DNA sequence: TTGATTAGTGTCAAAAAAACACTTATTAAA
DNA sequence: TTTAATAAGTGTTTTTTTGACACTAATCAA
């Protein structure tokens, strides 16, 4: 009651942006080069893309802004998955150094609302950053130590992705508009970290009704050309899924 | 870069606290009686329990504090499920009136991290509030208009509960230590809003290994007395679930 | 023409889910 | 003390879903 018991924290959104290219699941990170007064060599600093939420934005909008400023893309799959607010978030010297260069009050607490985004890594045109700040795709197996609690956030996102991909048809968001069944399977195998049976995978995907088979096929491959498919987005927009092997809430089952 | 683009918002946690009693799923709400200068009759105002996050608390701790101050209970099932941050959160006159009485800056934006709690409604001893503020259990079908965006938060929580209960064994959190199979089934039917087959339900629950059958039975009922069961909490604490019909991540499947 | 490579296809067995109806234990009322 | 009312408890069969498994087809390069 009575008076305000807290100094208001900063609120930011951080985006865990997944992409898939060269058979590898990748994470989009901000790579910063920060002068170190002591060593005279620049420190390299990786962090999740993020920014403070502005007065006129809701949380989704702030996350979308971060995403589109970085990739030039709009209408991307973006989902909030958790908020983090450890009062002791800024403990690493590098983090402090960077905050001091960027904020008036580097000691202020930051609460972050974390989002997971799935994009076609080939479609994203990374916006040119300054020489000291650029966006890079790193394979998720090579994610280095990140700023603040970003490693924890990333681990949580990865876990959320793994669960989500088995319940909702979101894998497509990581692929180009047209893709082959093998690409799709390889994507699922990567995310789930296990092999899947080719015939069973095809059967389930086709029965689920989320794929539209195209007449187009691969060209210029030195083996039997694969058929292309696209994802039936309409299903989820005007959710009349009565005739499909989809549950009413838009979920579908894959691999118990 | 450069300067702070935002005035820092308040950050609060709001708790959607579910209970189950008399075959009904209920929501714990704060009922406030606020003098209305115009009508001379008190306005009644319902809201989700919540409070600002304090400087020394992480988000979970703040939610736990709200919960235990209200119910006197600790160690309750509590899970963050979404954060909300509409910049236009305070639009209703009642909300303003109340904020003015409570905060120095009633116009400041509030971002709220919403939690879902499941408690045994009979176990919670509601802490006596002032005459103008008390906690009440309302059936979820009778939830009135709530303060701020609390109706939206509640709807989201209900949806999250419905999904979660099918994947993880959390229904037990809403029941007493000892419960009958029929109570459990009726709970699931209430949450899922559909009837379940008695025999199939029993089989699945028993095969899952999450129930411990007790020798104790109902007393004083004018029909065949039901056996009591309790929930096998150990399974999830020292998660060695190799011999159970549970997936490795602690999930279990119920009703495709 | 041959070899290398990846795409594409069907069946059977096992497991899981869904449908379905009667008997039993208890108390209250007749 | 018998009867009626009520909710508990119990198995089997059918259908659906899953999982395992191996060969043929189309293309390009050598």
**Does A114 map to a domain?**
yes
Is A245 a member of any domain?
no
Domain-embedded: residue A246 = no
**pLDDT given at position A237:** 66
* Ordered alpha helix ranges (H), chain A: 59-71, 93-102, 150-164, 181-192, 198-208, 234-237
Q: Quote the number of domains for chain B.
A: 2
Mean pLDDT (chain B) is 87
Residue A242 has pLDDT above 60, yes or no: no
Nearest chain B residue to A113 by CA distance is B83
Taking the CA of residue A208 and the C1' sugar atom of nucleotide D8, their distance in angstroms comes to: 40
Find the distance separating the first CA and the last CA of chain B, reported in whole Å.
Answer: 49
* Touching B: A residues 106-165, CB under 8 Å: 108-109, 111, 113, 163
User: Among B122, B139, B165, where does a domain finish?
Assistant: B165
- Per CB-CB distance under 8 Å, the chain B contacts of A256 are 253
pTM here is: 0.92
Q: Are residues B186 and B140 in the same domain?
A: no
Residues A116-128: tens digit of each pLDDT: 999 998 887 777 7
The pLDDT tens digits of the residues spanning A102-158 come to 777 777 899 999 999 999 988 877 777 766 789 999 999 999 999 999 999 999 999
Phi, psi dihedral angles at B200 (to 5 degrees): -65, -40
Neighboring chain B residues of A84 at a CB cutoff of 8 Å: 59
Give B95-126 pLDDT, tens digit per residue: 887 887 777 777 789 999 999 999 998 887 77
Both B150 and B180 in a single domain? no
C6 C1' – B163 CA distance, angstroms? Answer: 39
ipTM given for this complex: 0.90
Predicted pLDDT at B240: 47
Among A87, A88, A251, the residue to mutate for chain B (most B Cβ within 10 A): A87
Listed as ranges, the nucleotides of chain D within 7 A of a protein C-beta are 5-12, 17-22, 25-29
Q: Is residue A254 part of a domain?
A: no
> Which among B65, B79, B176 has a CA at the least distance from the CA of B127?
B65
Q: Which uninterrupted H or E stretch holds B3? A: none
Give the domain CATH number at B202. Answer: 1.10.10.10
Residues with CB under 7 A from strand C: A 180-182, 198-200, 202-203, 217, 221-227; B 197-200, 204, 217, 219-225, 245, 253, 255-256
* A121 CA to C5 C1' distance (Å): 26
Cβ–Cβ < 8 Å for A25, A73: no
Angle at B69 between CA B64 and CA B75, to 5 degrees: 40
Q: Please report whether residue A92 resides in a domain.
A: yes
Q: Which of B104, B113, B249 is nearest residue A3 as measured by Cβ atoms?
A: B104
């Amino acid at each position: 009651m009575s008076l305000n018991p807290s100094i208001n924290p900063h609120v930011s959104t951080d985006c865990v942006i997944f992409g898939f290219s060269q058979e590898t699941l990748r994470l989009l990170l901000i790579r910063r080069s920060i002068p170190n007064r002591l060593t005279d060599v620049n420190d390299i600093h990786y962090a999740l893309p993020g920014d403070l939420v502005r007065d006129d934005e809701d949380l989704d909008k702030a996350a979308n802004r971060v995403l589109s400023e970085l990739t030039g893309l709009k209408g991307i799959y973006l989902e909030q998955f958790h908020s983090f607010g450890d009062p002791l978030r800024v403990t690493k010297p590098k983090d402090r150094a960077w905050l001091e260069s960027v904020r008036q009050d580097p000691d202020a607490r930051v609460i972050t609302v974390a989002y997971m985004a799935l994009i076609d890594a080939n479609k994203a045109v990374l916006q040119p950053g300054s020489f000291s700040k650029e966006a890079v795709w790193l394979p998720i197996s090579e994610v280095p130590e990140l700023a603040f609690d970003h490693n924890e956030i990333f681990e949580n996102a990865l876990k959320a992705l793994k669960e989500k991909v088995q319940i909702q048809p979101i894998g497509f968001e990581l692929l180009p508009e047209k893709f082959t069944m093998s690409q799709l399977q390889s994507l699922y195998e990567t995310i789930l970290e296990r092999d899947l049976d080719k015939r069973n995978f095809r059967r389930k995907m086709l029965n689920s009704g989320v794929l539209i088979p195209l007449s187009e096929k691969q060209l210029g491959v030195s083996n039997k050309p694969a058929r292309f498919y696209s994802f039936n987005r309409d299903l989820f927009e005007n959710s009349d899924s009565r005739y499909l092997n989809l549950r009413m809430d838009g979920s579908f089952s894959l691999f118990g």
